[in-house]
Structure 1
Amino acid sequence: MDAPRPNLNEARTKIVATVGPACNSVEKLVELVEHGVDIFRINTGHGKIPDFEKVLDMVRQVRVITNFPVAVLLDLSGPKIRLGQLAVEALELEVGDVVEFVRGSVSELPHQLCCSYGKLLDEVKVGDRIMLADGIISLLVTSKTKDTAGCKVLTAGTVRSRQGVNLPGVTLSVSSMRPEDIENAMWGARNEIDFISLSFVRTPQDVLSLKDLLASLDSTALVIAKIEKREALECLEAIVEASDGIMVARGDLGVEIDVAETPVAQKRIIQVCKDRMKPVIVATQMLESMHENSRPTRAEASDVANAILDGADACMLSGETAIGKYPVLAVDTMDRIMLHTEQLLKDSPPGGRARKSDRVHPITSAVTHSAANIAEAINAKLVVVASRSGGTAWVKAKQRNFVPTLGVSSNLATLRRMCLFWGIMPHLVESFEDPRKLIEEVIQWGRAQHFLNVGDHVVFVTGTGVINNTHNLLVVHEVSGDPLVKDA
């Protein structure tokens, strides 16, 4: 980047990057933040709490070095079903082959498969499909006894131990949170993790159970529900309502439903989130080829662009940054795609009336909406939104206004939360209790960074204190000719 973050020229859509062996150093994480990463993802499917603690310690160092409040997303694995230990480590299956699932976690014969879900043999039935290796291999259950399920191979491939197992159309009794998930969530709550996502959500109650656990530990982490099951699509609106945000987890979703349905499902999920003013992350295989290549395919670039045009608040990189050969280049490439795509959004500003949100007072919604309209009308250089909890910045983000917006707070946790909000650049201020001091501090910062010049207009949204927890003050400030900072 040409300037330290926040940078008025950075992409409005946020970037989530998964931490893994390819970026497992403070220096590499600093580089990723400098190229546009807003949130680091810790995948609990790989590693234990001591590993997560090491990553969190590195992120804390990155915040100090970059002076940017990069956030952390803890991704709970949920009831992910995996194969157990196979008798043959690389089992080649051809169309028409017959294999059988057996109870236990270790297979004794080459043609036997086993898995981590003990009730699989109780809950599958003849005619069900079993998908292995992210849907590459398809099996059909053709026979069943108490302790075995015979399967015919429909699509060929190589099976390895610990690969994922999907059971599309099969209703499972497994809990949404395993004991490991509960332990990891409690660790996250005690370590001020900003976002916690729950995999394989099926009902709103799954989300509420996690929220109750976090509330009991006084955690303010936002709960992100991952949509990757057909059951979730069937009660999507209720799940979105119960959640603080949504992740479109296309990897397992594309296996649980027909892959041809996935693009339409993605658009529907994003639209429901827009309607209910909830942030949404689009994830999985966005720049998949950059695991090995320094350039994405044209289809991948279009995939990222379409997610942005649909209304995604953030896009996520998984293996691209965790194990890929080009983690920094992948982030830089995604950032450039975002910047070019967002130019199209500028030509169709949202407009309309102020929308109510249960996150803020109705007066705050109205004032924030008006600030955006005024900023566009006077060609303001910057909108500044003061926020204690992030609610006002949340509402501002959902307006999709293209005037650069600075979300200011004296609370570091609030600033990290803003890292998920579209178009909001988090910035630490000493205090915003006194509007005059806030204006002076922001203008001084803007001029020192060469963001603001004499004659520029800045629109501030803050409060007078007359109405508690309400932003009822809108100020239009013109940068004067009196230098607030001395030239270097």
Structure 2
Amino acid sequence: MHTKIVATLGPASLQPETMRDMVRHGVRIFRLNFSHADAAYFEPIVKTIRSLESEFGIPLTALADLCGPKTRIGEVADSPRTVGKGESLLLGLPDERPDPSRDERVFVSLDMPELLAGLRVGMPVNLSDGLLQFHVTRELKADRLYEIEAQNAGLLSSNKGIAFPGKHHALPALTAKDVKDLHEGIDVGVDAIAISFVQNANDVAMTKEEIRKHGVWVPVVSKLERQNAVDNLDAILKLTDAVMVARGDLGLECPLPELPIIQKKIIRACRHAQRPVIVATQMLLSMVKNPIPTRAETTDVANAILDGADCVMLSEETAVGDHPVETVKVMQEISENALGYYLERIQAPYAPKREKNPNKFVAYSACLIADNMEGQAIVCHTVSGTNARLTSSRRPSQNIYALTPDPRVLRFLNFAWGVKPRLIETAGGDHMARVEEFVTNCPDMAAGEPVVITAGRPTPGNDMPGTNEIKIYYK
């Protein structure tokens, strides 16, 4: 598969046989949701992933998804209760709760002063995962207590999420729990870290600094769930290793009619920056209970693939759904059916924009040669993964075999479109010789057919040249 599948593990999918079947149908990345468990819980699961990796002979990636500063309201009196359109409620810190004998309005408590700071009349407030929408109508105590008016009717329950669309929150992306989970997750063997509710590049830098303290390199996936993150996308892309379009919370922060276009713009920006991008949330949600998806869901998955997403992700569908394996199979089939049209539509490979970027043009040249010769594959020798990601961003029709000596880079490249990562030894010979040996021994490539190889060869004037060589090789 060119577009990769990310599957969230949960009670419905933790059995080794279920995980094995999901790998058979294209899952290469398993998401471990640290909102509901800790590293000790996931340690045996990571071991199962490694066992399956050995069994299938392909790299599999364990993605630790940190909880982040998810904001929830407190207890609501007589919960759940119906809120009518136009009804006024009170929103404030817990110690601002009024005497019910003097004010009978529903009080919504939020024990996070940072979120109420700077709230002003006219600003939107969303509750119950966006099903209840309000506007601030009065500032009763600055930064502490507000009157909010319902813009629609709905059901209000205790401990539901709250969002302030467009408002900057003075909250770091990493909580104390996240820092603990990050270090313990690396200890038990996770391969990538996803950070929630990213607002700017500083959040990414903070996460990378925590990883550096651990003495290792682990790729960071920035989850875009806030309007601020979309506004700061270019700066985030300079630091992050990958991006997730987390449409659930992002749909609370931005107007829903704008969400499809925001998704397309993020995917396009990620491809231009050579950063893998995952599209997530409610992709095949009806399959939590039903054995087949809705027509709209199949179209949604296909459109994400046609937009150029590197990965598509399943959440509840595989974590708690009744049909986890069937859901993965459906996603695989949609992806395989969309691929041909996608490559035809973009007239693969993509040409780079006019810029001074020799490495990108070397990757593009390799794709052009492979296309012109109808080559079987493009094989990249890559130490950091950059060569493979550059080649992937050109979206060639050929499979991209990325050969790396680094196990962490190996599993990170599972996020990249069209890339089949393979681990190679560094001892003996130069890069090109090792790649030729791989091609000779690879059963996926037929004898006598052309393969395009890219690698780096040191020269007298540059002992660290990056990718500087393209070779047409006949097996």
Q: What CA distance in whole angstroms lies between the structure 2 residues aligned with 1:106 and 1:56? A: 46
The answer to whether the aligner puts 1:381 opposite 2:376 as a matched pair is: yes
- How much has 1:416 moved relative to structure 2? 0.5
Q: What CA distance in whole angstroms lies between the structure 2 residues aligned with 1:106 and 1:300? A: 44
Relative to the length of structure 1, the TM-score reads: 0.86
Structure 1 stretches lacking a partner, 5+ long: 1-10, 480-488
Q: Is the CA contact 2:403–2:422 (under 8 Å) kept in the aligned structure 1? A: yes
Task: Say how many residue pairs are matched.
Answer: 461
Mean alpha-carbon deviation: is it higher for 403-412 or for 311-320? 403-412
The answer to whether the aligner puts 1:225 opposite 2:222 as a matched pair is: yes
Q: Is the CA contact 1:432–1:438 (under 8 Å) kept in the aligned structure 2? A: no
Letter aligned with residue 135 of structure 2? L
- How much has 1:343 moved relative to structure 2? 0.5
Which residue of the other structure, out of 143, 151, 155, is the alignment partner of 1:154? 151
Partner of 2:194: 197
Q: What CA distance in whole angstroms lies between the structure 2 residues aligned with 1:105 and 1:357? A: 59
Q: What CA distance in whole angstroms lies between the structure 2 residues aligned with 1:152 and 1:368? A: 55
Letter aligned with residue 349 of structure 2? P
Letter aligned with residue 161 of structure 2? G
Per-residue CA deviation, residues 312-356 of structure 1 (Å, 9 max, x unaligned), is 111111111111221112211111111111101322113536988
Partner of 2:18: 28
Letter aligned with residue 130 of structure 1? V
Q: Is the CA contact 1:12–1:423 (under 8 Å) kept in the aligned structure 2? A: yes
The answer to whether the aligner puts 1:39 opposite 2:29 as a matched pair is: yes
Mean alpha-carbon deviation: is it higher for 218-227 or for 85-94? 85-94
Letter aligned with residue 64 of structure 1? S
Letter aligned with residue 464 of structure 2? N
The answer to whether the aligner puts 1:460 opposite 2:453 as a matched pair is: yes
Which residue of the other structure, out of 385, 393, 400, is the alignment partner of 1:398? 393
CA RMSD of aligned residues (A): 2.8
Structure 2 stretches lacking a partner, 5+ long: none
Structure-to-structure mapping, 1:228-377, within 5 angstroms: 228-347=225-344, 348-352=347-351, 362=358, 365-377=360-372
Which residue of the other structure, out of 1, 5, 9, is the alignment partner of 1:19? 9
Q: What CA distance in whole angstroms lies between the structure 1 residues aligned with 2:433 and 2:166? A: 60
Per-residue CA deviation, residues 422-480 of structure 1 (Å, 9 max, x unaligned), is 1001223344753445423433231xxxx33333222222344544363344333323x
Q: What CA distance in whole angstroms lies between the structure 1 residues aligned with 2:246 and 2:286? A: 18
Per-residue CA deviation, residues 209-266 of structure 1 (Å, 9 max, x unaligned), is 2122222322311222222222222222222222222221111111111111111111
- How much has 1:35 moved relative to structure 2? 0.8
Change (3 A) 1:221 1:68: same
Partner of 2:85: 95
Which residue of the other structure, out of 57, 65, 68, is the alignment partner of 2:47? 57
Q: Secondary structure at the match of 1:375?
A: helix
Mean alpha-carbon deviation: is it higher for 461-470 or for 401-410? 461-470
Per-residue CA deviation, residues 193-217 of structure 1 (Å, 9 max, x unaligned), is 3322222222222211212222232
Which residue of the other structure, out of 76, 99, 109, is the alignment partner of 2:66? 76
Q: What CA distance in whole angstroms lies between the structure 1 residues aligned with 2:163 and 2:397? A: 41
Letter aligned with residue 454 of structure 1? A
Partner of 1:474: 470
Q: Secondary structure at the match of 2:151?
A: strand
Q: What CA distance in whole angstroms lies between the structure 1 residues aligned with 2:398 and 2:79? A: 55
Q: What CA distance in whole angstroms lies between the structure 2 residues aligned with 1:56 and 1:24? A: 11
Q: Secondary structure at the match of 1:81?
A: coil
Letter aligned with residue 342 of structure 1? L
- How much has 1:375 moved relative to structure 2? 1.6
Q: Is the CA contact 1:82–1:117 (under 8 Å) kept in the aligned structure 2? A: no
Q: Secondary structure at the match of 1:15?
A: strand
Change (3 A) 1:438 1:372: same
Change (3 A) 1:356 1:42: farther
- How much has 1:36 moved relative to structure 2? 0.8
Q: Is the CA contact 1:26–1:61 (under 8 Å) kept in the aligned structure 2? A: no
- How much has 1:17 moved relative to structure 2? 1.4
Q: What CA distance in whole angstroms lies between the structure 1 residues aligned with 2:219 and 2:131? A: 33
Q: Is the CA contact 1:104–1:115 (under 8 Å) kept in the aligned structure 2? A: yes
Q: What CA distance in whole angstroms lies between the structure 2 residues aligned with 1:452 and 1:171? A: 52
Mean alpha-carbon deviation: is it higher for 329-338 or for 193-202? 193-202
Mean alpha-carbon deviation: is it higher for 162-171 or for 366-375? 366-375
Q: What CA distance in whole angstroms lies between the structure 1 residues aligned with 2:115 and 2:244? A: 27
Q: Is the CA contact 2:452–2:473 (under 8 Å) kept in the aligned structure 1? A: yes
Q: Is the CA contact 2:317–2:324 (under 8 Å) kept in the aligned structure 1? A: yes
Change (3 A) 1:119 1:472: closer
Letter aligned with residue 473 of structure 2? H
Per-residue CA deviation, residues 17-53 of structure 1 (Å, 9 max, x unaligned), is 1111111222222211111112111222222332233
- How much has 1:66 moved relative to structure 2? 2.6
- How much has 1:106 moved relative to structure 2? 13
- How much has 1:136 moved relative to structure 2? 0.9
Letter aligned with residue 50 of structure 1? A
Q: What CA distance in whole angstroms lies between the structure 2 residues aligned with 1:294 and 1:414? A: 36
Q: Is the CA contact 1:189–1:218 (under 8 Å) kept in the aligned structure 2? A: no
Which residue of the other structure, out of 152, 160, 164, is the alignment partner of 2:161? 164
Letter aligned with residue 174 of structure 2? M
Q: Percent identity?
A: 33
Per-residue CA deviation, residues 181-203 of structure 1 (Å, 9 max, x unaligned), is 22222223444533222222222
Per-residue CA deviation, residues 54-84 of structure 1 (Å, 9 max, x unaligned), is 4323322332233221112222222221122
